[in-house]
Amino acid sequence: MRPRKRRLGGEQRRALRLLACNPFGATEAIMHVHGFTLPIFAKLVRAGLATVQSETGKAIAVGRIRITEAGRRWVEDAGKSERRGPNRWKEFWRG
């Protein structure tokens, strides 16, 4: 039996796309600046699409969020399905 594909909300998809653009991930502070909250991170981590690691600097501890390989595949698959979606005919007729 194949695993069921998880449905993510718009904010989770946006967070994954942002993480996919950053090879070293992003700090929690940067993600918060972009409007992402802890429940969004928690859902991505529980789904296995992202990881959170604590890094200690000279003065403070910082959480860094990274996309997993499964998350990268999810973003890739989502991009393919968007290109195949119902709007492809609009693009064709505009062409």
pTM (whole model) above 0.85: no
Cα separation, 68 vs 62, in Å, equals 19
In a domain, residue 68? The reply is yes
Concatenated DSSP letters for 38-78? Answer: HHHHHHHHHTTSEEEEEEE-SS-EEEEEEE-HHHHHHHHHH
Amino acid (1-letter code) at residue 46: R
How far is residue 16's CA from residue 8's CA, in Å, rounded to a whole number? 10
User: Range of 21's domain?
Assistant: 10-82
Q: What is the CATH classification number for the domain harbouring 15?
A: 1.10.10.10
Taking only the tens place, the pLDDT of each residue in 41-87 is 899 999 999 998 887 766 777 789 999 999 999 888 887 776 555 55
**pLDDT above 50 (res 3):** no
Q: What is the largest CA-CA distance in the chain?
A: 58
Predicted pLDDT of residue 2: 46
Confirm whether 93 is domain-assigned: no
Structural domain total, the chain: 1
Q: Report yes or no on 32 lying in a domain.
A: yes
